[in-house]
Amino acid sequence: MSENHALWRAHVLANHILQSPPPPLNIFLTREVCLQYTPPEVNESYGFDVKEMRKLLDRHNLEDRDWLYGIIIQSNLFNRKIRGGGKVFVSPDYNETMEQQREISMKRIMYLLEKGVFQGWLTETSPEAELKKFALYEVCGMYDYSLSAKLGVQFLLWGNAVKLFGTKRHHDKWLKDTEDYLVKGCFAMTELGHGSNVRGIETVTTYDPMTEEFVINTPCESAQKYWIGEAANHATHAIVISQLEINGTNQGIHVFIAQIRDQDGNICPNIRIADCGHKIGINGVDIGRIWFDNLRIPRENLLNSVAHVSSDGNYVSAIKNPDQRFGAFLAPLTSGRVTIAATAIYSAKIGLAVAIRYSLTRRAFSDVANGPEVLLLDYPSHQRRLLPLLAKTYAMSFAANDLKMIYVKRTPEINKEIHVISSGLKAVLTWHNMRTLQECREACGGQGVKTENRVGHLKGDYDGQTTFEGDNNVLMQQVSKALFAEYISCKKRNKPFKGLGLEHMNSPRPVLPTQLTSSALRCSHFQKNAFSIRERDLLERYTSEVEEIQGKGESREFSFLLSHQLYEDLSKAFAEKAILQAVLDAEAKLPIGSTKDVLGIVRSMYALICMEEDPSFLRYGYLSRDNVGDVRREVSKLCGELRPHALALVTSFGIPDAFLGPIAFNWVEANAWSSV
Ligand SMILES: Cc1cc2nc3c(=O)[nH]c(=O)nc-3n(C[C@H](O)[C@H](O)[C@H](O)COP(=O)(O)OP(=O)(O)OC[C@H]3O[C@@H](n4cnc5c(N)ncnc54)[C@H](O)[C@@H]3O)c2cc1C
């Protein structure tokens, strides 16, 4: 029996067992038995300047990012591994136990502290300092989300709470020590019984004028603080969010500082701490539970920028309205949401860089007899799976950048707007990350399952982002409620819409062409109009449905809940329009040339894939059935046009090779017997 015939027989048998489709023709005819790895750079050329594109994508602090990448790659503390061809990779060692992961995460933080990475993270307040912090934080998250989540607790939750709710005496006492890690903080808001519903928390704090102390108590099991990052092992101090009861009157939630461990790490008296246990990801963060048994803290430990209790026990607050006071207490979560939105996109970039590089070197089946097997990314179906997600990641990257820019230049007047935009983007970007990672994982086949290839593991690590610092569904509800309030306010006062990107509502409703040619579909004017019509119409439908339900005697809150289908559609329409605007703005700033051309294709892909994926366009008739067919065909054409740019587009992410997995490079050598 010839070698070819034997191969053919073996294949037929395997197919029979696996019940897979008939073998492609070349299987028994090809003579090549050994695959050779060819780097994608050999066959793919860059059709635009990848450095220019990276500048657009990273937008700020590129040198600082590269500095930190270098620091991480050079240190053995970051689990450096040399794989086939002498290529260095860094990623956490997931063979370690949960306790080991926590300890090594803390050691890594101490190493970065020594290198000066966190300098100014709390004590410098200029927009430049804040942007640098964002950039360095994003790099940490690309290495390991446990590392950045631990930093997030220390600086964004604990540190920001002290900064925002505290006054000078608190700033002087805590901020520098926090930056130097002499104090390790945690942020104890969520309880077993209440998470999204912060107002419902049951921890109670009373005031004792005799000793001038507050007394914090966990009155029942459902009031135990739950999911508290850094509480299980490392935190010495906690921000405690608690109801404040003064002379029997509940003044609502307030913010206190409590010491929970001494400097030797021993748990303080009147505190009980337990672990939250093993999680689907970020096991390098010590997440714990806390009970307070009438813990006494000094009066100064009330963070008193919003409210104050005098030594004889009188409650004073400049904000009289309890609803507004409650809103003020949730303000620090905004910076967390901005950060989460940005880090989610960097995680999606890792997934796409790995999956696309692999798909440019991995072949499967042949479509012609004796022909070479086809590269995965040359399959139109593979393009359809990855390239729209790549375009969305680009568009969202610009939106995350814009969000950071407005955040660092925030003024009290635009705080509300930042809250709404950051809520919408946090939800949409973290959902996008999860979806992208899943698709990339599958696109890598079995290799996607190996933790060393990063994509699969990122799913577990980043999953919690959809829940913490505002559950995505709850955030989207808030976005629609804010749009509703703006709509009602403008209509009642007969004033024009200003802010939240709603200015288009001041002009007549645009009319979309009935026949959609390829050039019409790619026209930014058409795309903007289509997104504006959707947002406007959904906002009008939502307000009229809520008012109709209210008209039947239901409360406004209950009417909001009953209109949930519309609020879900509306908040998505709002966020997707903001993202489209961000990519349009980025494109507009570019001079005529190849980078602008490619970005135009990316933007059209983003706009059209959103139209294809959201049933609202068809359901409410913004597009006809024929139009929707045109959109679908155009998406396919755009996939073909983005395909030659795929390598350049992921190279422009600027992610060092060491932060990707071995399958992004010579995966044959990395898995050779000599590498075992
Ligand atoms: C890894 C991790 C780390 C965390 N770290 C911290 C920390 O350091 N400090 C801290 O204080 N907290 C922390 N949290 C807690 C986090 O903020 C809460 O989990 C989050 O607020 C959601 O609360 P919950 O888990 O009680 O869910 P719930 O609020 O009970 O929500 C459960 C489900 O109900 C839905 N739901 C809730 N309300 C509504 C509504 N009104 N309408 C429609 N649907 C609704 C939600 O969408 C969700 O799907 C962390 C959580 C995780 C997972």
pLDDT in tens, 77-127: 999 999 877 899 999 999 999 999 999 999 999 999 999 999 999 999 999
Question: What number is the average pLDDT over the span 552-569?
Answer: 96
For 271, other C-beta atoms within 10 Å of its C-beta total: 19
Atom 33 (ligand 1) nearest CA: 471
E strand or H helix at 629: helix 625-642
Return all residues near 374 (Cβ < 8 A) that are at least 6 apart. 363, 364, 365, 366, 367
Does residue 2 surpass a pLDDT of 50? Answer: no
Q: Residue 565 and residue 298: Cα distance in Å, rounded?
A: 48
Percentage of residues of the chain with pLDDT beyond 90: 89
Burial 416-435 (b: 16+ CB within 10 A, else e): ebbbbbbbbbbbbbbbbbbe
- Ligand 1 center to 86 CA (angstroms): 44
Point out the least confidently predicted range of 235-249, 331-345, 430-444.
331-345
Paired strand residues for 302:
256
pLDDT at position 4 over 50: no
Q: Which residue has the tokens 């919690």?
A: 464
Q: What is the DSSP string of 235-291?
A: -SEEEEEEEEEETTEEEEEEEEEEE-B-TTSPBPTTEEEEE----SS-TTS-EEEEE
State both tokens at 335: 């910076």
Q: How far is the CA of 533 from the centre of ligand 1 (A)?
A: 33
Distance CA 622, CA 636 (A): 21
Residue 163: what residue type? K
Nearest alpha-carbon partner for 435 in 388, 380, 382: 388
pLDDT over 80 (residue 25): no
Which amino acid belongs to residue 110?
A: M
CA 511 to chain centre: 35
Q: Do residues 217 and 294 make contact, with C-beta atoms less than 8 angstroms apart?
A: yes
Question: To the nearest whole number, what is the mean pLDDT of the chain?
Answer: 94
CA angle, 650 then 656 then 662, to 5°: 85
Cα–Cα distance between 586 and 249 in angstroms, integer?
Answer: 53
Question: Rounded CA gap, 118 and 658, in Å?
Answer: 23
Domains assigned to the chain: 3-33 (no CATH), 184-329 (2.40.110.10), 333-486+515-657 (1.20.140.10)
List the single range of 142-151, 214-223, 251-260, 406-415 with lowest mean pLDDT: 406-415
Whether the predicted pLDDT of 1 surpasses 60 = no
CA of 476 to the centre of ligand 1 (A): 14
The span from the CA of 91 to the CA of 658, in Å, is 8
Cβ burial of 609 (10 Å; 0-12, 13-18, 19+) is: buried
DSSP label of 188: E
Burial of 77 by CB count in 10 Å (0-12 exposed, 13-18 middle, 19+ buried)? middle
pLDDT-based confidence at residue 668 (cuts at 50, 70, 90): very high
Whether residue 651 is predicted with pLDDT greater than 90 in this model: the reply is yes
Q: Would you put residue 28 in left (φ > 0), alpha (ψ -120 to 50) or beta? A: alpha
How far is 311 from 208, CA to CA, in rounded Å?
9
Ligand 1: which residue has its CA nearest to atom 40? 474
Question: Between 17 and 326, whose confidence is greater?
Answer: 326
d(CA 291, CA 220): 9
Q: Which of 78, 274, 260, 294 is nearest to 184 (CA)?
A: 260
Statement: residue 311 has pLDDT above 90? yes
Of the pLDDT bands very low, low, confident and very high (cuts 50, 70, 90), residue 33 is: low
Reference 420, options 324, 501, 540, 342; nearest CA is 501
Q: Annotated binding site for FAD, which residues?
A: 190, 229
The secondary structure of residue 469, as a DSSP letter, is: T
Rounded distance from Cα 198 to ligand 1 centre (Å):
10
pLDDT band at 3, cuts 50/70/90?
Answer: very low
Average pLDDT over residues 68-85: 94
Tens-place pLDDT, residues 449-469? 999 999 999 999 999 999 999
- CA dist 612 and 667 (Å) reads 35
Cα–Cα nearest to 259, from 177, 339, 191 = 177
Q: Quote the pLDDT of residue 332.
A: 66
- DSSP annotation of 123 reads T
Percent of the chain surpassing pLDDT 70: 95
Nearest atom, ligand 1, residue 196 CA: 29
Whether 21 shows a pLDDT value over 90: the answer reads no
Distance from the Cα of residue 432 to its chain's centroid: 8
The rounded distance, in Å, linking the Cα atoms of 150 and 566 is 37
Give the span between the Cα atoms of 12 and 190, in whole angstroms: 58
Q: Is residue 469 annotated as a catalytic residue, yes or no?
A: yes
Check whether 34 has a pLDDT greater than 90.
Answer: no
Average pLDDT over residues 52-70: 98
Atom of ligand 1 nearest to the CA of 561: 42
Counting Cβ atoms within 10 Å, is residue 555 exposed (0-12), middle (13-18) or buried (19+)? Answer: exposed
Question: 28 pLDDT exceeds 60?
Answer: no
Q: Which of 179, 191, 469, 486 does the annotation list as catalytic?
A: 469
Q: What is the C-alpha separation between 144 and 169, in angstroms, rounded?
A: 35
Ligand 1 centroid distance, CA of 596 (Å): 41
Stretch (H or E) spanning 420:
helix 415-443
Pocket around ligand 1: residues whose beta carbon is below 6 Å from it?
153, 157, 187-190, 195-196, 227-229, 282, 287, 464, 467-468, 471, 473-474, 477
Cα–Cα distance for residue pair 468/451, rounded to 1 Å: 24
Q: How far apart are CA 631 and CA 364, in angstroms?
A: 29
Residue 291 predicted with pLDDT over 70: yes
- Sequence-distant (≥ 6) Cβ neighbours of residue 63 within 8 angstroms: none
> According to the model, what pLDDT value does residue 324 have?
85
Q: How far apart are CA 475 and CA 472, in angstroms?
A: 5
Residue where the block lists tokens 């008012």: 547
In this prediction, residues 215-223 reach a mean pLDDT of 98
Q: What is the pLDDT of residue 81?
A: 93
Which residue puts its alpha carbon closest to atom 7 of ligand 1?
228
For a mutational test of ligand 1's pocket, the pick from 474, 478, 558, 562, i.e. the residue with the most ligand atoms closer than 8 A to its C-beta, is: 474
CB-based burial, 80-89: b 16+ in 10 Å, e otherwise: eeebbeebeb
Tokens 């050039």 belong to which residue?
519
pLDDT score for 592:
98
Rg of the chain, C-alpha, whole Å: 27
